[in-house]
Structure 1
């Protein structure tokens, strides 16, 4: 029930208003002058104040000023017998909601009052919502950081200050004195450019004052109350303790943004650690969808160049006649469309890392120029004779067999050995099936955030299909399959009917029960023998899981 006070020095007016408003269901108080009104304001909070502009030796404008100073949430409606534009403008400028003129009719009074209180109800609800969000923002145990479209720091909570080393005077996301990896800055920039959410797992901050700190990061595009894009939000979880524990155990489940704890992946993690602080050229090989770009990112961001640029070039996505210009730049007039000077990717990557994806697709002429860069770390822009020197680490990747291309005369042997100082060969998913439950768990978490759903498991049939499927598209194919299921599923568990047809064909091919013990053992191992978690992962209840463990004689030391 709204509280209203009517302030007027004419007895019959204020009491007539009181009768009208009381009849309409409001609690109504009255005051005859400025002093009486001030006394009542001292002990009551009123939702609406209706006040005459003329109050003997004081004015309603004086009351309006006092109310807006002491209780800005109260709305004020002015009454005047002599409406003037100057008076109305002054009242509105000082914060009056509206004004009505004498003689005041009942319908007009009730209309203004109802409109004012409806507006106040909306404002109060918005304020409660804002205060609720503010409380969450302040009390959250994870860091929350917001930036505008130009990546200027807008706000951060206490947890973010602790994790990132921010202070009350911090106004820049990247603090040069911290010497952090800037990976969060790059990820926020990508989110703002693409307006899409991005995740980073197990990022070592390289923070000078937070040595060894490891975090998980998720970035989201941010919109204002009118759904207009206005910047980005970054959520930061401190994973240092868990990462240290896993490293002590010697079997990390996640490394940087890479998921997997199979023996082959552990060997790759160890190799990345060795390579991260070296300038050694690395060639990453493996089928499409195995995560070659993630390996390149891990090598860069784990090393000393982490706060310098990582420039990515998809050599197969750039036309042959433009690739040389993209890599080395060009000067104005070098060719028909060269209307101005252009800086190449190698120059942009100076002091950092360049990642040349699909390196097997570059032409012989470009291979020759690339060979010189690798040898001398210098090049000329297209159309220029001026030599440019750079300090760039080169990481290349391919899904092709470069040795076969060498035999066919399509790839230079000397360039191959320059690129392949160290080779990291990523196994296909079919050769690391023990990582499948971990990847399923990872993509469930990701798409629950993206789709705002609560799907917590996949059924036993789905897990069987995943374990038997050959995965020609590797991890990328799994991601798309689970995303497909999220689009279709309205349940808490993904079933085989939610998957693309090729997976249903696997189940219908009469998967033998003899493989079930292996699936259960892998799920138990990946969940650290947490049987509740294992049951959810397999899409069965705990009683069924216990029965199967007993049936197959599965033991923790198997």
Structure 2
């Protein structure tokens, strides 16, 4: 029986040493009575060095304040029977802190006498390192493919990023042109914050949202009694933006009268409140934006030519989403991350079929419409991947009309977005995504050799493998 008891003890010691978690035991005086191999690794102390020492050896951050250890009699394990598992730090033998999850429980015999305390430690060092690497990778991704809240890696967006950085270093008037939903306000904000770091005011005005009279008062302010309802002086948006930036969205909607008023501001850098005769100098940078073609409006006499040239000192044109298809996966990833935070969900991706549908759709509403489509997917998705069925009907039906073709016919000729046309970079990227980067299939659909497809990819700097 004696040998059998020794065998059981040895077996128990082997079990403790085989554990991945650090485990040690204490008597009710806080003296260490057992110390497994994982504890040796986590703490740097061997069992020989630890046994017989007080539990303060590892200086756990849950038990110690900045100056001295807490008395063992005050230990929560002794007073409450256990301590809740929480993240904390212990001090390694070599003097650095080790992140761990620490758990402790009081052990009693059948007569309710205290036998001791069992504590376990889970080393979080590797997990913390992985999280740090992941955070660093995300930061690097944002650094490479984002500026402010603008995301893209296409050649077209690289030009936009370059223009934003150049514009940020200047006080020149900027004209941003692009279709609705391409992110004109995001670009304006990126220019402002890239330059000012948020230290100067940024004021935004939508020129199409107000009537001429209200817009004049909104921009220039008014004095008391200037019109019915003007009960006190009010500063306008130009004054609010003094030393900073004013962003005039939908500038193409200005009436001829307001065009003249804005031209004077650009020429003189001074404003006059409605109902006032005094002029006030202002120091502002003006960024204007429109989805309309101002050059056409100018030729048609709908927009003043002198104002147009004053506004387009530094023009930035934003490409529509259909011209930068390789940015769609990056945008989708960003919108999924945003949706997960907002909806407290854990969606990880879209299915290949859903991505194919997203790549094939022409996106008349551009990035804004894509974001709304992913938000629509969050409403319907019940798995960890957004499927084609979770996307808006027009996106899926558009994809089906592209891919479905009568038997015996060339499927390529029935795909509107891939119809026979001169090969462009955008068209090749779209085909690559639709064919899951299968260059042989792309070549077949184009009726060209795989070598020629490869050469075009090299020429246009398209990755040979899918990101």
TM bin (shorter chain): 0.5 to 0.7
> Residue 281 of structure 1 contacts residue 422 of structure 1 at CA under 8 Å; is this kept in 2?
yes
TM-superposed CA distance for 1:399, in Å, is: 0.5
Q: 2:326 aligns with which of 431, 434, 452?
A: 434
* Corresponding position of 1:378: 270
> Structure 1 residue 408: deviation in Å?
3.6
- How far apart in 2 are the matches of 1:358 and 1:289? 12
User: In the alignment, what sits opposite 2:206?
Assistant: 314
Unaligned runs of 5+ in 1: 1-41, 45-69, 74-119, 141-236, 247-251, 525-537, 539-544
**Residue 305 to residue 418, structure 1, CA distance change in 2 (3 Å):** farther
Deviation at 1:377, TM superposition (A): 0.7
C-alpha contact (below 8 Å) 1:280/1:422 kept by paired residues: yes
Q: Is contact 1:312–1:356 with CA below 8 Å preserved after alignment?
A: yes
Question: CA 1:243–1:442 in structure 2 vs 1: closer, same or farther (change >3 Å)?
Answer: closer
State the partner residue of 1:492: 384
Structure 1 distance, partners of 2:350, 2:379, is 14
d(CA) in 2 for partners of 1:239, 1:369: 49
Residues 488 and 240 (structure 1 numbering): CA distance in 2 closer, same or farther, change over 3 Å? closer
Label 1:438 to 1:406 Cα distance change in 2 as closer, same or farther (>3 A).
Answer: same
1:446 Cα shift?
1.0
Return the offset for 1:343: 1.1
Q: Note the 1:462-473 alignment, pairs <5 A.
A: 462-473=354-365
Aligned CA distance change for structure 1 residues 133 and 286 (closer, same or farther; 3 Å): farther
Q: Which has the higher contact order (CA 8 A, sep 6+)?
A: 2
Secondary structure at the counterpart of residue 266 of structure 1? helix
CA distance in 1, matches of 2:335, 2:139: 23
What is residue 291 of structure 2 aligned with on the other side?
399
Alpha-carbon offset, residue 303 of structure 1: 1.3
Tell me, in whole angstroms, the C-alpha distance in 2 between the residues paired with 1:296 and 1:470: 25
Equivalent residue number for residue 50 of structure 1 = none
For 1:269, which of 156, 161, 177 is the aligned residue? Answer: 161
User: Aligned Cα RMSD in Å?
Assistant: 3.7
Task: With the length of structure 1 as denominator, give the TM-score of the two structures.
Answer: 0.51
1:118-151 Cα distance to aligned partner (Å, 9 max, x none): xx99xx99xx69x76999xx999xxxxxxxxxxx
Check conservation: 2:325, 2:430, Cα contact below 8 A: no
Does the alignment pair 1:445 with 2:445?
no
* Of 279, 286, 302, the match for 2:178: 286
Find the counterpart in structure 2 of residue 161 from structure 1.
Answer: none
Conservation of the 8 A alpha-carbon contact between 1:305 and 1:352: no
C-alpha distance in structure 2 between counterparts of 1:239 and 1:498, whole Å: 29
Q: Following the alignment from structure 2 to structure 1, what is the Cα–Cα distance between the partners of residues 187 and 88?
A: 38
Alignment counterpart, residue 235 of structure 2, candidates 343, 353, 358: 343
**Partner-residue secondary structure (3-state), 1:400:** coil
Structure 1's 352 and 305: CA in aligned 2 closer, same or farther, altered over 3 A? farther
> Does the C-alpha gap of structure 1 residues 549 and 468 become closer, same or farther in structure 2, counting only changes over 3 Å?
closer
**1:264-316 Cα distance to aligned partner (Å, 9 max, x none):** 11111111111111011010001000000111111111114741011111111
Corresponding residue of 1:479? 371
Could you report, residue by residue, the CA deviation over 1:384-411 in whole angstroms, capped at 9, with x for unpaired residues? 1111111000000000112232234332
SS at match of 2:403: coil
CA distance in 2, matches of 1:491, 1:414: 56
Q: Is the 8 A contact 1:314 1:358 kept in 2?
A: yes
* Whole-angstrom CA distance in 2 between matches of 1:483 and 1:557: 31
TM-score (norm 2): 0.60
Cα distance in structure 2, aligned partners of 1:430 and 1:551: 22
State the match for 1:59 in structure 2.
Answer: none
Distance, in Å, in 2 between the alignment partners of 1:323 and 1:557 is 52
CA distance in 2, matches of 1:387, 1:353: 20
Cα distance in 2 for residues equivalent to 1:320 and 1:523: 48
Cα offsets for 1:167-195 (capped at 9, x unmatched): xxxxxxxxxxxxxxxxxxxxxxxxxxxxx
Say whether the 8 Å CA contact 2:360–2:430 is kept in structure 1: no
**Cα distance in 1 for residues equivalent to 2:75 and 2:344:** 37
Residue of structure 2 equivalent to 1:242 = 140
Contact 1:464/1:519 (<8 A) preserved: no
